[in-house]
Amino acid sequence: MAEDTRTEIPVRPVLLAALRQDQKQNLDYELEELENLALANRLEPVETFIQALDRPNPATYFGKGKVEELRLAVQTYEADLIVTNDELSPSQIHNLEEATQATVVDRTGLILDIFAQRAQTKVAKLQVQLARLEYQLPRLRTSMSVSLDQQTGAGGGGFTSRGAGETKLEQSRRRLTSEMVSIKKELEALQKDASTQGKKRQESAIPTVALVGYTNAGKSTLMNQLLTRFGQGAGSDSSKQVFEKDMLFATLNTTIRQLTLSDKSRFLLSDTVGFVSKLPHHLVAAFESTLQEAANADLLLQVVDVSDEHYQSMMKTTENTLARLGIKDKAMITVYNKADKADLSFPLVDGEAAITISARDRQSQDELLGLVKKALFTDRKEVTLKVPFADSAVVAHLLDDHELLSQDFDETGTTVKLALSPDEINRYQKYIH
């Protein structure tokens, strides 16, 4: 398989090609996304070809006329790469490559390449490699079939070590499969540690909030802003910040941090990989454990870049991706971000589950946190507890993460007013007045 040679070349002209199969399809959005994916791979789209066809041509995906146009454009632009909007079958890729004399890559291939470049942590690297191998496995035929035909034509290669009837293709398949098995093992071992941490967190009963949404929406920016103000060692330690940048898939690994608000209420906030439409299913599968943070969260914050004209399609993409991950019926606040860029007024709260903000605006952050608190701690009730001095440790413990609403003493003990959850009310029943 060709390694990442493509990514080392700074800018390379490419042709984009798409089929319009359905009038309802938002092809504009899909093509803008494809263009961004290409740019993120340092490819420069020079022309886009669209063909309206009810169903793809079984042999070459595009119809004859469009294939000819592509062939000519390959020569005109001296482009040797065609990026297709959808996944083609291995034989379609092969035939189209033959007809146009260019390499054909699809959207999935682009996404996998970007992920491969961005992966930093060991887990992310292994996850991406696994997804790439799974993607390559059924496509081996494309590059192998040529040499395979030549081989049989020449009466076989003559490798005596080769098993009876085992072709080069089968050997490659076997190599990929065994590599996949060993990556899976390594990942399982690494993730065992992570899941014990997850369990610990669940036991600690601190509610969790997960940032989700389309790539580049501003999830990491929001996380950093909140960390600076409410993270552990807030304002001092910039090394705890997560990576934010104006590019696709800046974040691949999941980061979880605890926030402690001024009223002492606490929750864990997680930032994770962003979504894109048609996120390759291999990638979703490979990142499933990373994305579990969202599945386990008590509350989702869907961050939306409201300054992008396609923001509604992006929201749909996020919803579809969550559904694919089996995440549904979860409490969610929609955070329309980048209002400054969109020239909308902010902060603007719309009910209990929607807010328009600008991530770096303090007032926006406060309003958003107000909604988060309402969603997380809505079932808390104000109660008065009378705790004898002998049990004063209980009060100290409660004051760790509860705001003291009022306090009084007499000769028998302390009387405190706090807002407690139904669970806590149960637990501390004997002190409740």
Residues making contact with ligand GTP (CB under 6 A): 215-221, 244-246, 248-251, 274, 303, 337-338, 340-341, 358-360
Which helix (DSSP H) or strand (DSSP E) does residue 40 occupy?
helix 27-40
Listed ranges 23-31, 141-149, 212-220, 375-383: which one lies at the site for Mg ion (CB under 5 A):
212-220
Q: Name every residue whose Cβ is closer than 8 Å to that of residue 409 and which is 6 or more positions away in sequence.
A: 415
CB nearer to ligand GTP: give 94 or 219.
219
CB nearer to ligand GTP: give 62 or 249.
249
User: CA 291 to CA 146: how far, in whole Å?
Assistant: 39
CB nearer to ligand GTP: give 307 or 421.
307
For residue 369, the partner it binds in Mg ion, ligand GTP, none, with Cβ less than 5 to 8 A by kind, is none
- Please name the amino acid found at residue 174: R
Q: How many CA atoms lie within 13 A of 337 on its CB side?
A: 28
**DSSP secondary structure string for all residues of 306-368:** TTSTTHHHHHHHHHHHHHHTT--S--EEEEEE-HHHHT--SSEE-TTSEEE--TT-HHHHHHH
Cβ 364 to ligand GTP shortest distance, Å: 8
The owner of tokens 């004063």 is 392
From residue 142, give the alpha-carbon distance in Å to each of 5, 55, 85, 93. Answer: 19, 22, 19, 7
Cβ 12 to ligand GTP shortest distance, Å: 23
For residue 135, the partner it binds in ligand GTP, Mg ion, none, with Cβ less than 5 to 8 A by kind, is none
CB nearer to Mg ion: give 84 or 251.
251
| Chain centroid offset of residue 332 CA | 17
Cβ 130 to ligand GTP shortest distance, Å: 20
CB nearer to ligand GTP: give 104 or 217.
217
CB nearer to ligand GTP: give 199 or 360.
360
For residue 216, the partner it binds in ligand GTP, Mg ion, none, with Cβ less than 5 to 8 A by kind, is ligand GTP
| Chain centroid offset of residue 227 CA | 20
Question: What is the token pair recorded at 138?
Answer: 């059924």
Q: Where are the beta strands (DSSP E) in 362-405?
A: 381-388
User: CA 105 to CA 79: how far, in whole Å?
Assistant: 13
Cβ 252 to ligand GTP shortest distance, Å: 8
* Of the residues 92, 143, 208, 220, which one makes contact with Mg ion according to CB under 5 A: 220
Cβ 271 to Mg ion shortest distance, Å: 6
For residue 358, the partner it binds in ligand GTP, Mg ion, none, with Cβ less than 5 to 8 A by kind, is ligand GTP
User: CA 290 to CA 33: how far, in whole Å?
Assistant: 24
User: CA 142 to CA 94: how far, in whole Å?
Assistant: 6
Cβ 317 to ligand GTP shortest distance, Å: 12
The owner of tokens 């079932």 is 379
CB nearer to ligand GTP: give 51 or 221.
221
Residue number with the smallest Cβ distance to ligand GTP: 274
**Total residues contacting Mg ion (rule CB under 5 A)?**
4
Listed ranges 5-13, 248-256, 375-383, 392-400: which one lies at the site for Mg ion (CB under 5 A):
248-256
CB nearer to ligand GTP: give 15 or 269.
269
3-state secondary structure of 273: coil
CB nearer to Mg ion: give 253 or 334.
253
Phi-psi region of 91 (alpha: psi -120 to 50; beta: other; left: phi over 0): alpha
For residue 245, the partner it binds in Mg ion, ligand GTP, none, with Cβ less than 5 to 8 A by kind, is ligand GTP
Cβ 303 to ligand GTP shortest distance, Å: 6
Question: What is the token pair recorded at 131?
Answer: 């997804």
Give which of 313, 322, 309, 318 is closest to 25, Cα–Cα. 313
3-state secondary structure of 119: coil
Cβ 186 to ligand GTP shortest distance, Å: 25
User: CA 368 to CA 245: how far, in whole Å?
Assistant: 22
Residues 299 to 318: which contact Mg ion by CB under 5 A? none
Phi-psi region of 309 (alpha: psi -120 to 50; beta: other; left: phi over 0): alpha
For residue 175, the partner it binds in Mg ion, ligand GTP, none, with Cβ less than 5 to 8 A by kind, is none
* Of the residues 142, 251, 302, 318, which one makes contact with Mg ion according to CB under 5 A: 251
* Of the residues 250, 268, 294, 333, which one makes contact with Mg ion according to CB under 5 A: 250
Length of the chain: 433
For residue 217, the partner it binds in Mg ion, ligand GTP, none, with Cβ less than 5 to 8 A by kind, is ligand GTP
Q: Which residues bind Mg ion (CB under 5 A)?
A: 219-220, 250-251
